[in-house]
């Protein structure tokens, strides 16, 4: 695979940077490194990275602050890679514009997959209203969902939910975000709706609802469509 | 035998050691002692200071009065002076020594003139010697000056010699405990010479002073007194020294004086005399006051208080006993305390009756005292002139109402007697009236009884004895009967009332004892410092009728800046500083004391065996009477004791926690270090191998796998440790949210894919399972750990069951395996930290299950472990949960 895209790593740990550099270079990415938040902001502006990997615990600033500053102008994916594993931290980062997160220690395979998904999403501006995931097709324009070429009957809320998740394939969506998008601002705390509809949706589109392949739970945070 | 006899007495030895220790911590007190003003004490003191200063000693002047004497003034130069503190007293400004400045400056030695000086009213202490004691407490040495007439025990004698009553006195104790006393002596002629030259007082004051005080006779007497005191002191030092070095001397050791005092002014002389005697004999001394049925007038009361205070100032302990028989009380006490000498004053002979009583008192004392020496001190003529004792009238203190009631009762019963007079005869009536008087005696004081006796005698005579309605009596036997009637009525009445009063006193004592007993009992049931405080304040209110506040020490051994709960008075900033002083100096202060008497409250230290515990603040309405004070002290010691026990218990608890955590630390160390090393060793070994040689692809793959497995193991350990520390530090706050338990089960099964491969996992969830409100993360971790635990014990290929259901507002989670289960003895320990099952495989820290328990408990749930019927372990978790309203959800779905 040849890939000349630059990825910016903002992390103060040399060993993590080295590991990322080896892994990502081997996968054809160019690497730009920064060990502090300030340096990271400068590099982000100068090296035009296609994706930024950001650590939350930086020596000079809180990662969330850096994230907010980046998001003022940087539109491409930002992936959080942090030892902070508390759900609150993760949700906060996602709500502040991070596309995805991974906690340290992490599997490099998983990291690469997340990077690929994030980059693809950011590039994929296709207006193709038909999304296909294995045996499942979703026709966004006509509100039609088919599984193994059979029509799946969905209520309008179920469809909205599925559509939102499918459009953000591979990306974690927080409970709040989903509730806001599907039900509206007033329902942001009504997580029980989300649970019920999710369970129903799984029964309708998953091969084995007990082992979901498409509608994955991110415990305490939200849901992720696909891998 | 002889060597055994001369062995040092252990008690004496201990006393010496304690004395030494106490002294070494405190500053040393050096007194420059003279017979009177003008002998050059201040001068000598300054010269001595100069010598010390030349040696490089840090020595300053705290307060020196030069009296405008040129020689002295020139010596003051060159010393650092502590600025005097100014007090406004009425219209004049008074300058006093600045105590706090001296303590803050903390020199090695400070010079303080005139130890017996009385401070200005707003000063912290009434007397300067109290200031000096505080300075000494702070480890600063003091040089000071004292004149012989200022010694408490000599002031009376000085007054006798010179005719001048000395007001500024110094407790003998201070003088006796001084580390060094230097006599500054001058012959009378030389002194008079100096006086006439105007070297002592400035000329205008000199003439008057000389006339009043400095007569040669006076000076000689004072000089003799001063020399004798110093000689006595040397004697005592020799005695101490010999005792210290175990040299047996010819002295009569172990003398113990008991001085009996009462509520008369004569007792002051008795006390001083006894003190002098004890001093020269090197004997112990204590005083006794016998509380009889005699009711004290307020004047007598005051004098008694004065006497007892004087005794305290002289360093004599006073014991108060209640007994109607003074002699047997004194003798009993003397025998119990092993007194060798009893000292009493000779009772004043006022009249024949008193003489008879004197005889009986002295004779009785001598008869009963056995081998105890009895000293009887004569009446003091000087004192007699100045203080005429008021003739004591048996307390007619009963109020008018009592007299009226008595009269009314006598009249009423006389009328009823009059009605039955014809049936019983006039002689029987006398018994009726006698009976009445006896009964009245139980309820009324001697005054009304006397009245009742007299009036009933008169009534009997007038209305009953023939001829009726005259006071004239025909028959001589009736006259005799009347006289007998009167005396019997009176004696009966007075004796009864005396017994009653005695009883009353005893009853008060009993009540107090009962109260103390009650307090002790209740205090024992109290647990926790707060409860003790509340109880103490309640008791102060109940038994002393006083409002109070308690301030305790903190862990840092300083007085806290907040009062304990239950306080009934407002303690202000100022009061706290007084309380602090009391705490530091272990002395009472505030209203009715010599220290800071201007406040509203009185402060008492609460002292335990190992230092002070706190301070109790009370709003006193009057000075405690002797009885009350004793009760109060007993009360305080009970409270302090309880507080001390509470503090000790807290300390013990802390120590226990500490030792537990030490144990924990060790276990942690042993188990964790092992658990950490194994994966690290694997990673190191495998990566080394990979780096050093080119192995075939297959081997390399295996090594990579090992590294990966070891990393996962390490990571799991870290997760467990982090969770444990979150639990330990109490940082687990569940964040419940709606949760689909299917989701939970899926997540766990997904995460444990690898570990579950050799097993069959069956998840059983009823179809109508509602959404439950739990912390997803915590429950996930709980299930994760339990299932992981099952995979470690159960044989490969066996089935692991995960059963989740909702029952009666509880979420039930059960995890079952077919492993070895638990031995009955370990069922109680499985959730303990670092506990590992007997048959556990290598690896594992014993943290998993204790984390499970912690997480379940954090959500108010319970967890139990048991053995399954056909073998295997079963964990049962119950967590109280809310469930989602299904109807509501259906509605949403429809919309």
In this prediction, residue B116 carries a pLDDT of 85
Look at residue B892 and tell me whether its pLDDT is greater than 60.
no
Nearest chain A residue to B714, by CA: A105
- Residues A114 and A143 reside in one and the same domain: no
More confident residue, B653 or B890: B653
Give per-residue pLDDT as tens, B660-707: 667 666 766 666 677 777 788 888 888 888 887 777 888 888 888 888
Closest to B173 measured CA to CA, from B36, B317, B44, B288: B317
* Whether residue A23 is found in the same domain as residue A119: yes
pLDDT of residue B397: 52
Cross-chain Cβ contact B746/A196 below 8 Å: no
B711 in contact with A, Cβ within 8 Å: yes
What are the chain B neighbours of A155 within 8 Å (beta carbons)?
A: 893
Residue A213 has pLDDT above 80, yes or no: yes
How long, in residues, is chain A?
227
Instruction: Give the pLDDT score at B878.
Output: 93
Angstrom distance (rounded) from CA B485 to CA B493: 12
Looking at the DSSP bridge assignments, the partners of residue B584 are none
Same structural domain, A72 and A157: no
Within an 8 Å CB–CB cutoff, is residue A97 touching chain B? no
| pLDDT for residue B816 is more than 90 | yes
Residues of A with Cβ-Cβ distance to B735 under 8 angstroms = 87
Condensed to tens digits (0 to 9), the pLDDT of residues B27-39 reads 888 999 988 887 8
Q: Do B893 and A212 touch (CB under 8 A)?
A: no
Q: Which residues of B683-705 are buried (b: 16+ CB within 10 A; e: fewer)?
A: beebeeeeeeeeeeeeeeeebee
Pick A217's closest partner by Cβ from B743, B893, B895: B743
Does the beta-carbon distance from A155 to B892 stay under 8 Å?
Answer: no
- Residue (of B437, B447, B450) closest to B400 by Cα position: B447
Percent share of chain B, pLDDT over 90: 5
Chain A residues with CB under 8 Å of B738 CB are 191-192, 194-195
- Residue B811 pLDDT: 93
Which residues of A fall within a CB distance of 8 Å from B884? 192, 195-196
In degrees and rounded to multiples of 5, residue A28 shows phi and psi of 90, 10
Sequence-ordered list of residues with C-beta below 8 angstroms from that of B345, at least 6 positions apart, any chain: B260, B262, B264, B266, B267, B269, B270, B376, B377, B379
Count how many residues are written for chain B.
Answer: 895
Indicate whether A175 belongs to any domain: yes
Summarised one tens digit per residue, pLDDT across range B748-763 is 888 888 889 999 999 9
For residue B269, give both structure tokens: 């002389």
Cα dist. B557→B100, B565, B573, B614 in Å? 21, 20, 19, 9
Interchain CB distance below 8 Å, A210 and B776: no
Q: What is the signed CA dihedral for B667, B671, B674, B675, rounded to 10 degrees?
A: -140
Instruction: Quote the pLDDT of residue B805.
Output: 93
Q: What is the mean pLDDT of residues B803-819?
A: 92
- If asked whether residues A103 and A164 sit together in one domain, one would say no
Confidence of residue B747 (pLDDT cuts 50, 70, 90): confident
pLDDT band at A126 (very low <50, low <70, confident <90, very high): low
Chain A contact present for B766, CB below 8 A: no
Tell me, yes or no, whether A20 and A51 share the same domain.
yes
Positive or negative: CA dihedral A207, A209, A212, A215: positive
Q: pLDDT tens-digit profile of B778-793?
A: 898 899 989 988 988 8
Domain boundary pick from A123, A147, A173: A123
Q: A interface mutation test: which of B893, B894, B895 has the most A CBs within 10 A?
A: B893
Whether A112 is in a domain gets the answer yes
Q: Which of B223, B234, B182 is nearest to B32 (CA)?
A: B182
Phi, psi of B116 (to 5 degrees): -85, 5
Using CA atoms, how far apart are residues B707 and B719, in angstroms rounded to an integer?
18
CATH number of the domain to which A194 belongs = 1.10.10.10
* Residue A78 forms part of a structural domain: yes
Structural domain contains residue A86: yes
Picking from B102, B103, B104, B130, the residue whose alpha carbon sits closest to that of residue B115 is B130
State the pLDDT at residue B395.
46
Average pLDDT, chain B: 79
Residues B39-84: tens digit of each pLDDT: 888 888 888 888 888 888 888 888 888 777 777 788 888 888 888 8
Q: Give B208's Cβ-side CA count (13 Å radius).
A: 3
Interface touch A87/B777, C-beta < 8 Å: yes
For B72, list phi and psi in degrees, rounded to 5. Answer: -65, -45
Report the pLDDT value the prediction gives residue B358, as an integer from 0 to 100: 55
| DSSP class per residue in B794-825 | SPTT-EEEEEEEEETTEEEEEEE--S----GG
Tell me which of A11 and B623 has the higher pLDDT. A11
- Claim to verify: residue A165 and residue A208 sit in the same structural domain: yes
Check residue B14 and give its pLDDT: 65
Retrieve residue B722's tokens: 């982090």
Boundary-marking domain end, from A91, A123, A155: A123
Letter string b/e over residues A54-83, b meaning 16 or more CB atoms within 10 A of that residue's CB:
bbbebeeeebbebbebbeeebebbbbbbbe
Cis before residue B554, ω within 30 degrees of 0?
no
Decide if A1 is inside a domain: no
Which residues in chain B (396-455) have CB-CB distances under 8 A to chain A? none
Q: Which residues pair with B867 in a beta bridge?
A: B873
Statement: residue B446 has pLDDT above 90: no
Q: Band of the pLDDT at A68, cuts 50, 70, 90? A: very high
CB contact under 8 A, A192 and B749: no
In chain B, which residue's Cα lies nearest the Cα of A107? B708
In this structure, the answer to whether residues A108 and A151 fall within a common structural domain is no
Please indicate whether, in this complex, the C-beta atoms of A197 and B893 are within 8 angstroms of each other: yes
B29 near B144, Cβ under 8 Å? Answer: yes
pLDDT at A61 over 90: no
Contact call for A220 and B889, based on CB within 8 A: no
pLDDT for res B357: 57
CB-nearest to B711 from A105, A157, A197 is: A105
HEC-encoded secondary structure of B402-429? HHHHHHHHHHHHHHHHHHHHHHHCHHHH
Check if the beta carbon of residue A37 is closer than 8 Å to that of residue A78: no
Angle, in degrees to the nearest 10, between helices B776-793 and B848-858: 150
pLDDT of residue B392: 38
- Of B23, B30, B60, the C-alpha closest to B182 is B30
DSSP per-residue codes, B32-76: EEESSTTSSHHHHHHHHHHHHHHTT--EEEEE---TT-HHHHHHH
Q: Where are the alpha helices (DSSP H) in chain A?
A: 14-26, 37-47, 63-71, 87-95, 108-123, 156-167, 175-182, 191-205
Are A152 and A67 contained in the same domain?
A: no
Calculate the alpha carbon distances from A43 to A38, A77, A112, B348 in Å. 9, 15, 21, 111
Q: Which of A123, A151, A171 is the last residue of a domain?
A: A123
CATH of the domain at A34: 3.40.50.2300
Per-residue pLDDT, A53: 94
Shortest CB distance from B739 goes to which of A195, A211, A212? Answer: A195
- Compute the count of residue pairs across chains A and B with CB atoms less than 8 Å apart: 57
Residue B371 pLDDT exceeds 70: yes
A210 and B CB contact within 8 Å: yes
Contacts of B617 (CB under 8 A, 6+ apart): B548, B549, B550, B551, B563, B569, B571, B575, B579, B590, B601, B602, B603
Alpha-carbon distance values, A53 to A6, A9, A82, A225 (Å): 11, 5, 10, 21
Best to test chain A binding among B737, B744, B764 (most A CBs inside 10 Å): B737
H/E stretch holding B552: strand B548-552
The string of pLDDT tens digits covering residues B703-740 is 888 888 888 888 888 887 888 777 777 777 888 888 88
Cβ neighbours of A210 in B, within 8 Å: 742, 745-746, 763
Residue B262 has pLDDT above 90, yes or no: no
CA dist A53 and B27 (Å) reads 71
Query: How many structural domains compose chain A?
Result: 2
Nearest to B815 by CA among B840, B849, B844, B841: B849
Q: Give the pLDDT confidence score for residue B181 in this predicted structure.
A: 86
Q: Residue A215's domain spans which residues?
A: 130-225
- The verdict on residue A190 lying in a domain is yes
pLDDT digits (tens, 9 = 90+) for B590-599: 887 777 777 7
Classify residue A33: in a domain, yes or no.
Answer: yes
How far CA A168 is from CA of A122, A177, A178, B64, in Å, comes to: 10, 12, 11, 93
List strands edge to edge, sheet with A215-218. Answer: A172-174, A222-225, A215-218
Q: Does the pLDDT of residue B260 top 80, yes or no?
A: yes
- Band (pLDDT 50/70/90 cuts) for residue B384 is very low
Measure the CA–CA gap between B643 and B623, rounded to whole angstroms.
26
Q: Is the model's pLDDT at B206 over the cut of 60?
A: no
Q: State whether B742 and A191 contact (CB < 8 Å).
A: no
- Both A73 and A142 in a single domain? no
Cβ-proximal residues to B418 (8 Å cutoff; 6+ apart), any chain: B463, B464
Q: Work out the angle at residue B62's Cα, subtended by the Cα atoms of residues B57 and B63, and round it to the nearest 5 degrees.
A: 135
The answer to whether B777 contacts A220, with C-beta atoms less than 8 Å apart, is yes
Lowest mean pLDDT segment, chosen from A2-6, A82-86, B310-314: A2-6
Looking at the structure, tell me whether residues A115 and A20 fall in a common domain.
Answer: yes
Asked whether residue B126 carries a pLDDT value surpassing 90, the answer given is: no
Average pLDDT over residues A80-101: 86
pLDDT per position as a tens digit, B466-505: 788 888 888 888 888 888 888 887 787 778 777 777 777 7
β-strand A51-54 against A30-34: which pairing, if any? Answer: unpaired
- DSSP string over B179-236: SEEEEE---HHHHHHHHHTTSSS-HHHHHHHHHHT--HHHHHHHHHHHHHHHHHHHHH
First to last CA, chain B: 112
Is A71 domain-assigned?
Answer: yes
- At B155-166, the pLDDT tens digits run 777 777 777 777
8 Å CB contact of B889 and A211: no
Eight-state DSSP code of residue A152: -
Query: What's residue B800's pLDDT?
Result: 93
């Amino acid at each position: 695979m040849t890939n000349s895209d630059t990825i910016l790593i903002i992390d103060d740990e040399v060993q993590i940077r080295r590991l990322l550099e080896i892994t990502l270079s081997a996968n054809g990415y160019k690497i730009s490194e920064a060990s502090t938040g300030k340096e990271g902001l400068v590099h982000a502006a100068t090296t035009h990275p296609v994706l930024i990997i950001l650590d939350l615990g930086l020596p000079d600033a809180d990662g969330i602050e850096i994230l907010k500053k980046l998001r003022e102008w940087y539109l491409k994916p930002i992936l959080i890679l942090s030892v902070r594993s508390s759900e609150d931290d993760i949700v906060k980062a996602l709500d502040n514009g991070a596309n995805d997160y991974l906690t340290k220690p992490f599997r490099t395979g998983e990291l690469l997959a997340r990077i690929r998904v994030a980059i693809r999403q950011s590039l994929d501006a296709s207006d193709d209203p038909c999304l296909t995931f294995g045996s499942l097709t979703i026709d966004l324009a006509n509100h039609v969902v088919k599984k193994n070429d059979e029509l799946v009957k969905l209520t309008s809320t179920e469809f909205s939910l599925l559509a939102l998740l499918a459009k953000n394939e591979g990306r974690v969506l927080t409970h709040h975000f989903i509730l806001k998008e599907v039900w509206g601002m007033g329902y942001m705390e009504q997580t029980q709706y989300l649970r019920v509809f999710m369970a129903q949706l799984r029964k309708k589109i998953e091969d084995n609802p007990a082992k979901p392949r498409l509608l994955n739970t991110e415990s305490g945070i939200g849901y992720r469509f696909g891998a | 035998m002889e060597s055994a006899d001369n062995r040092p007495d252990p008690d004496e030895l201990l006393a010496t050691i304690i004395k030494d220790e106490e002294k070494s911590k405190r500053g040393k007190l050096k007194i420059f002692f003279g017979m009177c003003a003008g002998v050059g004490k201040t001068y000598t003191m300054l010269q001595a200071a100069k010598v010390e200063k030349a040696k490089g000693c840090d020595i300053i002047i705290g307060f020196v009065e030069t009296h405008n004497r040129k020689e002295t003034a020139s010596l003051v130069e060159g010393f650092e002076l502590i600025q005097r503190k100014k007090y406004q007293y009425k219209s004049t400004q008074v300058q006093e020594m600045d105590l706090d400045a001296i303590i803050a400056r903390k020199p090695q030695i400070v010079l303080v003139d005139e130890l017996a000086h009385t401070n200005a009213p707003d000063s912290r202490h009434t007397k300067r010697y109290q200031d000096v004691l505080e300075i000494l407490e702070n480890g600063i040495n003091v040089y000071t000056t004292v004149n012989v007439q200022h010694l408490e025990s000599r002031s009376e004698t000085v007054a006798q010699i010179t005719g001048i009553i000395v007001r500024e006195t110094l407790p003998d104790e201070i003088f006796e405990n001084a580390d060094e006393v230097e006599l500054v002596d001058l012959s009378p002629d030389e002194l008079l010479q100096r006086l006439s030259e105007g070297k002592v007082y400035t000329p205008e004051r000199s003439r008057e002073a000389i006339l009043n005080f400095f007569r040669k006779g006076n000076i000689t007497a004072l000089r003799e007194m001063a020399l004798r005191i110093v000689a006595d002191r040397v004697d005592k030092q020799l005695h101490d020294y010999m005792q210290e070095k175990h040299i047996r001397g010819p002295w009569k050791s172990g003398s113990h004086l008991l001085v009996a005092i009462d509520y008369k002014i004569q007792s002051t002389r008795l006390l001083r005399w006894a003190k002098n005697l004890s001093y020269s004999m090197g004997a112990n001394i204590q005083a006794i006051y016998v509380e009889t049925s005699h009711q004290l007038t307020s004047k007598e009361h005051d004098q008694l208080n004065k006497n007892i205070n004087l005794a305290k100032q002289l360093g004599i302990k006073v014991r108060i006993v209640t007994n109607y028989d003074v002699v047997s009380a004194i003798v009993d006490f003397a025998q119990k305390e092993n007194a060798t000498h009893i000292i009493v004053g000779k009772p004043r002979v006022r009249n024949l009756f008193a003489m008879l009583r004197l005889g009986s008192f002295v004779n009785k004392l001598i008869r009963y005292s056995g081998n105890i020496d009895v000293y009887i001190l004569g009446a003091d003529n000087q004192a007699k002139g100045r203080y005429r004792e008021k003739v004591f009238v048996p307390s007619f203190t009963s109020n008018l109402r009592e007299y009226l009631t008595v009269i009314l009762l006598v009249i009423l019963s006389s009328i009823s007697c009059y009605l039955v007079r014809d049936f019983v005869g006039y002689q029987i009536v006398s018994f009726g009236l006698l009976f009445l008087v006896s009964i009245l005696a139980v309820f009324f004081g001697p005054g009304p009884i006397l009245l009742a006796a007299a009036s009933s005698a008169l009534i009997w005579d007038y209305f009953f004895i023939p001829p009726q309605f005259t006071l004239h009596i025909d028959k001589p036997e009736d006259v005799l009967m009347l006289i007998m009637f009167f005396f019997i009525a009176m004696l009966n009445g007075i004796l009864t009332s005396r017994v009653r009063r005695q009883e009353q006193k005893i009853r008060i004592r009993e009540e107090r004892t009962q109260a103390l007993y009650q307090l002790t009992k209740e205090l024992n049931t109290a647990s926790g410092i707060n409860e003790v405080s509340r109880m103490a304040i309640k008791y102060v209110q109940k038994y002393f009728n006083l409002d109070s506040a308690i301030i305790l020490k903190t862990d840092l051994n300083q007085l806290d800046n907040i009062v304990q709960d239950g306080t009934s008075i407002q303690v202000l900033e100022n009061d706290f500083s007084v309380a602090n002083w009391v705490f530091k100096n272990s002395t009472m202060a505030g209203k009715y004391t010599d220290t800071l008497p201007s406040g509203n409250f009185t402060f008492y230290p609460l002292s335990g065996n190992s230092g002070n515990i706190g301070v109790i603040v009370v709003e006193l309405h009057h000075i405690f009477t002797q009885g009350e004070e004793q009760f109060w002290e007993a009360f305080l010691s009970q409270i302090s004791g309880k507080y001390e026990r509470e503090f000790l218990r807290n300390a013990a608890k802390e120590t226990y926690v500490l030792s537990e955590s030490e144990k924990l630390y060790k276990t942690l160390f042993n188990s964790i270090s092992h658990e950490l090393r194994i994966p690290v060793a694997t990673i190191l070994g495998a990566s080394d191998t990979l780096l050093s040689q080119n192995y075939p692809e297959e081997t390399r793959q295996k090594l990579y796998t090992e590294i990966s497995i070891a990393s996962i193991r390490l990571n799991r350990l870290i997760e467990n440790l982090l969770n444990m520390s979150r639990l330990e530090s109490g940082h687990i706050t569940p964040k419940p949210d709606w949760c689909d338990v299917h989701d939970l089960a899926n997540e766990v099964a997904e995460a444990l894919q690898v570990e579950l491969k050799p097993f069959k996992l069956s998840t059983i969830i009823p179809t109508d399972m509602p959404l439950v409100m739990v912390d997803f993360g915590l429950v996930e971790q709980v299930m994760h750990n339990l299932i992981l635990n099952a995979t470690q014990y159960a044989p490969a290929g066996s089935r692991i069951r995960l059963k989740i259901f909702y029952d009666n507002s509880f979420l039930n989670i059960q995890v079952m395996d077919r492993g070895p289960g638990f031995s009955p003895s370990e069922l109680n320990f499985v959730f303990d930290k670092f506990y590992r099952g007997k048959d556990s495989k290598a690896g594992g820290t014993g943290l998993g299950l204790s984390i499970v328990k912690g997480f379940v408990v954090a959500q108010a749930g319970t967890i139990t472990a048991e053995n399954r019927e056909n073998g295997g372990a079963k964990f049962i978790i119950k967590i109280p949960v809310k469930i989602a309203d299904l109807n509501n959800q259906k509605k949403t779905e429809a919309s």
